[in-house]
Amino acid sequence: MTLTDIAAGDRDVHDHQIVEEKTSLFHQLIAVWAVAFASMVAFMGIGLVGPILPTISEDLNATATQTSFLFTSYLAVTAVMMFFTSWLSGRFGTRTVMLVGLAVIVVAAIGCALSSTVVGVIAFRALWGLGNALFLSTALASIISASKGSAGQAIILYEAALGIGLAVGPLVGGLLGEIDWVFAFWGTASLMAVGFVAIITFVRGAGRSDGPIRISAPFKALTIPSLLILSVVAFFYNSSFFVTLAYVPYPLGLPAVGIGLVMTGFGIGLAVTSIVIAPRLTSRVAPLHVLWMGLVVFAATHAAAAFSSGVLPLLIVFVVLLGFEIGLLNTVLTEAVMEATDLPRPVASSAYSGVRFFGGAIGAPVGTSLAAFGVGAPLLFAGARPWSVRSCCCASSGISPARATWCTRRHSRRRRSSPSATSRRRMVVAGPPTVRR
C-alpha cells in the first residue's frame, strides 16, 4: 500500500465522519419512528398513573402507600427481567421480544381496567412491568442500531420519546380519569395495540445479534467499574425520580385534570432538555461535570419543593423544574452507559436498566410512607438520594476508570473508524436489525 492509498483512505473516513455528524436527528428510517412511537406509548403508561392515584385510592379504599405499589410492583418486575432481556433478544431476536412485550402490556392494561380491588391492579401492574422490560430494553438497542446518525443522536431520540410519553401520559390519564380511572388503562391498551401493529408492519427481520449472549452477561458486566458506578448513580437517582411520580399528586391536591396538566409540564421539560439542552451542554462541558452539577441542582430543587409543599404555586413550579433536571440526567447517564464500555449494547442496557429500576421500586414505597412525618418528608428523602450518589461514587476506587472511560469516549460519535464499522450497526427496514458487538 502506498502513501497515496493511505491518504485517500483517510480522506474517505474523514468525509464519512462529516456526513454522519451532519445527519439530521429527525431524518430516520420509518422503522426507527415505529419503535420510537411504541416507546413513547410505553412511557405514557408510567405517567398516566400519577393523576389517577388519588381517584384509585378513593374508589378502592386504598392508602397512598398502597397505591404507590402500582409503581413498585411494576418497577420490581421490570428490574428483575431487565437482566435477562439481552439473553432473550439474542436467542429470539429483538423484534420478537419487542412484540411479546407490547402484547403483554396490552393484556396487563386491560387487566388493570377490569380489576375491582387495589390488589388486582397491583398484580396486573406487575405483569405490565414484565412487558415493559421486554419492550424497552430491546427498543433502545433497536433505535441505536437503526439510527442513521450517531449513537448519541439515537439516545436523544429515545429520551425524547420518554419525555413526550411522560408529558402526554399524565394529561391523557387526567382527562380520562375525570370520566373514570379505568378509561386511562383502556386508552393505554389501545395505543399499545397501535404500536404493536406499527412494529410488526415496519420493522423487518428478527434482529438477532451476531453471536449468542450468555444469560450471565449482564451480571458480569457489572464487574466493569465504569458501568457499575454509573448504575449505582442511576439507582439512587431513579429512586428520587419515582418518589416524585408516586407522591407529588397527593400534596398537589388537585383534580385529575389539574394533576395531569402539572405533570404534563414536567414531561415537556424533560423532553425539551433531552432534545435541546443536554446535547448542547455536554458538547461544551465534560459529561461527568454535567452529571455532578445536575445532581446538586436536582437535590436542591427537591429540598425547595419540600419546604414549599404548603404553597401550591411554588410546588407546581418546582415540580416542573424537576422535569427539566430529570431530562438532563436521563440523557447524560444513558449516553454515558452506552459509550462507557465495548460490551454489546443490549448487555450494557440490561445491566444498567436492571439496577436503575430497582432504585425506583424501592424508592417509591419508602419515600411515600415518610409522609407520616410531614407533607414534605418524602421530597426531602428524594433530595437526599443525589447526595448518596455523590458520596458513594467519590469514595469508590473505580471513579478514575469511570471518569477516564467516559471522558475519552464522549466524542466517539465524531471518531467513527470506518464506513463499514458504521454500516454494521445499522438496521435496514427490509433486513434484520443488527446490534453492535
With residues binned 3-state (H G I as helix, E B as strand, rest as coil), the percentages for the chain, rounded to 5, are 80, 0, 20
269 inside domain? yes
- Mean pLDDT score of the chain, rounded to an integer? 75
Give the highest mean pLDDT range of 149-153, 257-261, 299-303, 328-332.
Answer: 299-303
What CATH number does the domain containing 260 carry?
A: 1.20.1250.20
Question: Cα(415)–Cα(143) distance, rounded to whole angstroms?
Answer: 20
357 inside domain? yes
172 inside domain? yes
279 inside domain? yes
pTM of the model: 0.70
Q: Three cell numbers at 88?
A: 432473550
What is the pLDDT confidence band of residue 272, given thresholds at 50, 70 and 90? confident
437 inside domain? no
Question: Cα(230)–Cα(218) distance, rounded to whole angstroms?
Answer: 14
**pLDDT tens string 370-411:** 888 888 888 888 877 655 555 554 444 344 444 444 444 444
Question: How many domains does the chain contain in total?
Answer: 1
429 inside domain? no
**pLDDT tens string 108-145:** 999 999 988 889 999 999 999 999 888 877 887 777 77
417 inside domain? yes
Alpha helix ranges (H) inside 273-344 = 278-284, 287-307, 312-340
19 inside domain? no
Burial per residue of 31-68, b for 16 or more beta-carbon CB atoms within 10 angstroms, e otherwise? bbbbbbbbbbbbbbbbbbbbbbbbbbbeebebebbbbb
Angle at 45 between CA 39 and CA 47, to 5 degrees: 105
What is the pLDDT confidence band of residue 106, given thresholds at 50, 70 and 90? very high
Q: Provide the domain limits for residue 237.
A: 26-423
Cβ atoms within 10 Å, residue 320: 18
Residue pair 327/351 in contact by the 8 Å Cβ criterion:
no
Q: Three cell numbers at 152?
A: 448519541
